[in-house]
């Protein structure tokens, strides 16, 4: 379990909160249980390190505040729209005996041992996270799906995933699908036989020859149309001689 050092904050204005952030701190609040809400601040550096890890919003943290430790769960993180830096965090206290609803990420293992994926199949992930109702003292960090021996057409449903004791999905009444091993989506075009390729080459050559013949005929026709003009010139010359 990761731990965080927190400091009680007494900020009452927006300016004080902004100054806190400029000093490298992230304002936060802790609520839940029978205790009052607590306004705290945390090191931005430590918070960013934990956020970069997987499953931050489903990991129970040990919060050290005023010499005491309490288990809390991150519930919501607000980020700056420009810098994408964390600017506020809500934590809920973990109270024994209570239950909480969380989205738990799904992790897939043994991809290299799946016959379906080896043959070019595709892992179609329907749900990357599953919403579960969990006891606060038994919150899973992730749900593990083993792809060993799964072939094309296999369907992984929630009933095939081992859930911790007293942990149940919020969707009841149906065995919903988490992922499937689907057939390849790209079909390779078969290669053409060598004989067929040669035949197509011959057809192309014949077509080019026919076009060349057509162009030659066209040139001949054009040349023939110029001859009457020469004949007219001779007749004109002959006519001029008769007048003389």
- Model pLDDT for residues 216-232, shown as the tens digit of each residue: 444 444 444 444 445 44
Start-end of CATH 2.40.240.10 domains in the chain: 3-94
Cα 18 → chain centroid: 34
Cα 204 to Cα 131, 189, 198, 218, distances in angstroms: 63, 22, 10, 21
Q: How confident is the model at residue 237 (pLDDT cuts 50, 70, 90)?
A: very low
How far apart CA 129 and CA 106 sit, in angstroms, is 6
Tokens of 221: 């026709």
Task: Tell me yes or no: is domain 3-94 CATH 3.30.70.140.
Answer: no
pLDDT band at 234 (very low <50, low <70, confident <90, very high): very low
Name which residue leads in pLDDT, 18 or 218: 18
Among 2.170.120.20, 3.10.50.40, 3.40.309.10, 3.30.390.10, what is the CATH number of 100-182? Answer: 2.170.120.20
How many C-beta atoms lie closer than 10 Å to residue 43's C-beta? Answer: 15
Token pair of 48 as six digits: 């960013």
Stated pTM of the model: 0.64
Q: Quick one: pLDDT at residue 31?
A: 93
Q: Is the pLDDT of residue 215 over 60?
A: no
Q: What is the pLDDT of residue 198?
A: 53
What is the location of CATH 2.170.120.20 in the chain? Answer: 100-182
Q: Residue 209: enclosing H or E segment and its boundaries?
A: helix 194-243
């Amino acid at each position: 379990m990761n731990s965080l050092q927190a400091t009680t904050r007494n900020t009452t204005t927006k300016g004080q909160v902004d100054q806190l952030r400029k000093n490298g701190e992230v304002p936060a609040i802790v609520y839940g249980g029978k205790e009052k809400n607590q306004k705290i601040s945390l090191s931005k550096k430590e918070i960013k390190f934990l956020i970069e890890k997987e499953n931050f919003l489903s990991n129970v943290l040990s919060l050290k505040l005023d010499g005491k430790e309490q288990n809390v769960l991150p519930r919501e993180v607000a980020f700056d729209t420009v810098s994408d830096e964390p600017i506020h965090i809500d934590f809920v206290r973990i109270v024994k005996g209570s239950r909480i609803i969380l989205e738990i990420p799904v992790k897939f293992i043994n991809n290299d041992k799946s016959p379906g994926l080896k043959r070019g199949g595709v892992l179609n992930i329907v749900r990357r996270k599953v919403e579960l109702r969990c006891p606060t003292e038994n919150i899973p960090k992730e749900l593990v799906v083993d792809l060993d021996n799964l072939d094309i057409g296999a369907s992984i449903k929630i009933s095939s995933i081992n859930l911790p004791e007293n942990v149940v999905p919020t969707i009841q009444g149906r065995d919903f699908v988490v992922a499937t091993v689907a057939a390849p989506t790209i079909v390779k075009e078969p290669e053409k036989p060598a004989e067929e390729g040669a035949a197509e080459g011959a057809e192309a050559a014949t077509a080019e020859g026919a076009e060349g013949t057509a162009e030659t005929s066209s040139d001949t026709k054009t040349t023939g149309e110029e001859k009457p003009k020469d004949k007219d010139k001779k007749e004109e010359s002959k006519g001029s001689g008769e007048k003389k």
